[in-house]
Chains A and B, each alone.
Chain A
Amino acid sequence: MTLAPPHSPKPKAVALISGGLDSMLAARVMLDQGVHVEGINFYTGFCVEGHTHAIRREARERPKRNNALWVAEQLGIKLHIIDVIEEYKDVVINPKHGYGSNLNPCLDCKGFMVRKAREWMETNGFDFIVTGEVIGQRPMSQRRDTMPVVARESGAFDRLLRPLCARLLPPTLPEREGWVERARLFDFNGRSRKPQIALAERYGITEYAQPAGGCCFLTNAQYSRKLADLWQTRGEKRYELEDILLLKVGRHLRPRPHFKLIIARDDGENNFLLGFRQRYTHLHATSHAGPLALIDGNAGEEDIELAARLTARFGQGRDADQVTVAVTDLAGHTQIRHVRPFTADEIPQTWYL
């Protein structure tokens, strides 16, 4: 237990802001109690926010806002966005507490983020950390028995306050020191969203991002399957930012163990994949409009023929007898192939990742 006075007359809290409603409310509750609040948001590379706007056309048509920044603006607080891409790899690759239903290491992730927030708090002379966690809200990381694990493993201990469920937990330092009033904190519990929605109404908050099962792609079954496939074919659990961004883009088909094909699904993805041309053998139809496809792995002569037929399948020439496909290798040499597109029935479902 730590017992130190606050660093200034007005207590200062750093609030983890995800862009969703719960963390917004938690910060708002603190502001209501006269606490100076600044937000912190971590970019892991797996976040649902952000670059999908730059990639998919359908995402481009939605408002291009960063929800964490938007929340900060609504609350009138500063927001510090921290790049944790490198450090986060260890959380995803070696989670001490294992994975959730997909490759989401939620408990380790929470501990990691609160630890980073604690380091930020110490460096910047803040007094405590605030999160929007609610007991029972998520099966892995937000349970009564995991709350102390996060507080302990992050090193935040009793400087970690969860205003939305604090009254169900032992009093923390900010409560004991009177920096915040425990009676004006909450006892939200369980998966229902009703108490949060009612509190939002009380604060006049009418617009907020809908929680969509998690704040990152690791909770997505299809995405996790592609990541598992990446590790399995590499023979080790390792990734770079480029790998995990590419997993968000295009159709991924693995017709052979030693290579897969990434095929753009719209113009936005086509443009995005164009940026990777120099580093991958790539294909596109020249006789018909169609997508760009990248080959990830070592494709031999027969494999390239197969990749060309698959690329033809996903373009305008899918019903043609023959499609001309340009294949450019890593050295920049282009060869032209005339292929018969695969029919839908000829592509085994098991090829789709």
Chain B
Amino acid sequence: MTAHVLDVRHLLCPMPVIRLQNTVARLPVGDTVEVQATDPGVLHDVPAWCRVHGHQVLSVSETAGEIRVTVQVQGS
């Protein structure tokens, strides 16, 4: 199980979710991806995308305009 970081700061929605989708497509079940973003739309889009694809959101945080959402890849 590997922890990955996806830096999508300064990208506007829906680009962060597109980048996450393309990253997750290459990862095995159990790996995690920490999405680092600045667009508040990520707080909604990433969890919604995870629900739609059956992945798990492990944590969400927002400090000083920096958003971090950690996602764990699940089997589809």
What residues make up the interface of A, taking CB atoms closer than 8 Å to B?
43, 47, 49-51, 53-55, 60, 63-66, 69-70, 72-73, 77-83, 245, 275
Contacts and interface: CB of A to CB of B under 8 A. Distances in A.
Interface of B: 10, 12-15, 17-18, 21, 38-41, 43-45, 48-49, 51-53, 76
B12 A50 contact: yes
Contact of B18 (A51, A64, A70, A83): A83
A49 B76 CA distance: 27
Contacts of B48: 65-66, 69-70, 73
B15 A66 contact: no
Contacts of B13: 49-51, 53-54, 64, 66
A80 B21 contact: yes
A64 B48 CA distance: 11
A53 B13 CA distance: 8
Question: Which of A50, A65, A70 has the most C-beta atoms of chain B within 10 angstroms of its own C-beta?
Answer: A50
A60 B43 CA distance: 12
12 contacts: A50-B41, A51-B13, A54-B38, A54-B40, A64-B43, A65-B45, A65-B48, A69-B17, A69-B48, A69-B52, A81-B18, A83-B15
Contact of B49 (A47, A50, A69, A77): A69
A83 B43 CA distance: 20
Given A65-B48, A66-B41, A80-B21, A50 B53 contact: no
Contacts, number: 69
SS class of chain A's interface: helix, strand, loop or mixed?
A: mixed
B52 A78 contact: yes
Contact of B41 (A51, A81, A83): A51
Contacts of A64: 13, 40-41, 43-45
A275 B14 CA distance: 18
Nearest to A60: B40
A51 B12 contact: yes
B52 A79 contact: yes
B44 A81 contact: no
Given A43-B18, A54-B39, A81-B18, A66 B12 contact: no
B53 A78 contact: yes
Q: Which 10 interchain pairs have the tightest Cβ spacing?
A: A51-B12, A50-B13, A54-B39, A69-B48, A64-B44, A53-B41, A64-B41, A72-B52, A50-B14, A66-B45
Given A66-B14, A73-B48, A73-B52, 6 more contacts: A53-B13, A65-B45, A69-B45, A78-B53, A79-B52, A83-B15
A27 to B, nearest CB: 13
A341 B44 CA distance: 42
B17 to A, nearest CB: 6
A47 B76 CA distance: 29
A53 B53 CA distance: 23
Nearest to B76: A78
B55 to A, nearest CB: 11
A66 B52 contact: no
